[in-house]
Structure 1
């Protein structure tokens, strides 16, 4: 089949669904610097986890803020997004581990800004980040 005969939408979905990389596609090929371990859906056991979502801890900047890399080819990409510590205002699911989050649990969430981030309702349990990279005394 000639390249000009391919349906652009079908080809886009095929590329997003495949794990292979093409050398002529430059989007999202630069590695994101990170500290700790890279975390994504492959470590989750929850059925609520989309298989394409990748979440990585880049850095613990302070005791109440972290920098997260959020990669979701179906909705958004944030290479270095600031997340803040808070108490969960609603129940949900931890984007890092798939664990259940209950209202009142200590969580990190994306910093509120304008425009509102696409993943504004996402949450990561504080305990999940502590398991990856414990808070050092110099950050407290």
Structure 2
């Protein structure tokens, strides 16, 4: 096997994460699953946190992503400003999300709850260039629960 050829076929960041995972003595995915389960339990008890919510990747992505999000501001009743940080994909310090009806099913970025087509959600505002997290959604009911706490 030619090491140089093999290196060009692997994404450098993915390779770095894999090497770090080996050094830590395990795969990071089980920890992410455990954390997601804890967040889902919290959401079920209506005490979901707006901080550090890892979830499944949106359709079209080949792996799970871990990210954190924070609610910064609520400019209007149909908009919310979010800080979205994903160290392997994108980071937005003050991204405007708008209320809409879900056009497809998915997973709530804040709670991990299932989203069905037609549910009231918040999504990143559409713009050009398209935000890298444009497939993410937050259930409006979860956002209300978090604001009430």
Task: Tell me if both proteins adopt one fold, taking TM over 0.5 as the criterion.
Answer: yes
Secondary structure (helix, strand or coil) at the match of 1:127 reads: helix
Q: From the superposition, tell whether residues 56 and 15 of structure 1 become closer, same or farther in structure 2 (CA, over 3 Å).
A: farther
Query: Alpha-carbon deviation of 1:39?
Result: 1.8
Secondary structure (helix, strand or coil) at the match of 2:81 reads: strand
Secondary structure (helix, strand or coil) at the match of 1:103 reads: coil
CA contact (8 A) 1:65 1:84 kept: yes
The count of corresponding residues between Structure 1 and Structure 2 is 105
Unaligned runs of at least 5 residues, structure 1: 1-8, 18-36, 135-140
If the length of structure 2 is used for normalisation, what is the TM-score? 0.61
If the length of structure 1 is used for normalisation, what is the TM-score? 0.64
Q: From the superposition, tell whether residues 113 and 128 of structure 1 become closer, same or farther in structure 2 (CA, over 3 Å).
A: same
Identify the match of residue 41 of structure 1 among 53, 67, 92: 53
CA contact (8 A) 1:108 1:125 kept: yes
Large movers: runs of 4+ above 4 Å: 9-12, 14-17
Aligned counterparts, 1:97-136, within 5 A: 97-134=111-148
Structure (1 or 2) with the greater helix fraction: 2
1:17-44 Cα offsets, whole Å, 9 max, x none, are 7xxxxxxxxxxxxxxxxxxx642226xx
